[in-house]
Amino acid sequence: MLLIDIFQAYVDDKVTNKQNMSEILKELNENSYNLFNVITQCEIQCGCIKSYDTLEYELKNINYDQLMKLYINSACDECREKIEAQIGKCILSLTSVCSLCGINIADIFIKEHRNIQHHCSANK
């Protein structure tokens, strides 16, 4: 059993079974919005996250490695903790959405991994 399967089973037991889809989707929306705010604060208040103008890049013209180099290892320890905490909340909400739809979240990781590999190999 994968770690993420154990995580999903635990989330189902402790969280998902106590909420309905509407509540979880609202929570996911709030968590995504809060993640945006946390990252914006890190960028504006701390400055450790550099303000790359990624919008000028079109995803089709930049490969995954290049995109990740723009972001990885740019957050300071304090901001990293805030971002990780908020991403954790997003993952928790997404996991609950998966469970209410009868979807194994590990399957999504596998499929997305394949999609990214396909996308990157198509752009080489």
Residues that bind Zn ion (CB under 5 A): 42, 46, 48, 76, 79
Q: What's the closest the beta carbon of residue 54 comes to Zn ion, in angstroms? A: 18
- The stretches of 42-104 forming alpha helices (DSSP H) are 64-71, 77-100
Q: What's the closest the beta carbon of residue 111 comes to Zn ion, in angstroms? A: 33
Euclidean distance between the first and the last CA atom of the chain, given in angstroms as a whole number? 35
Which is nearer to Zn ion, 39 or 79 (by Cβ)? 79
Q: Cβ distance 16 to 96 under 8 Å? A: yes
Q: What's the closest the beta carbon of residue 83 comes to Zn ion, in angstroms? A: 9
Distance CA 105, CA 4 (A): 8
Which is nearer to Zn ion, 49 or 98 (by Cβ)? 49
Distance CA 122, CA 93 (A): 32
Distance CA 108, CA 54 (A): 26
Which is nearer to Zn ion, 36 or 57 (by Cβ)? 36
Which is nearer to Zn ion, 48 or 62 (by Cβ)? 48
Q: What's the closest the beta carbon of residue 35 comes to Zn ion, in angstroms? A: 15
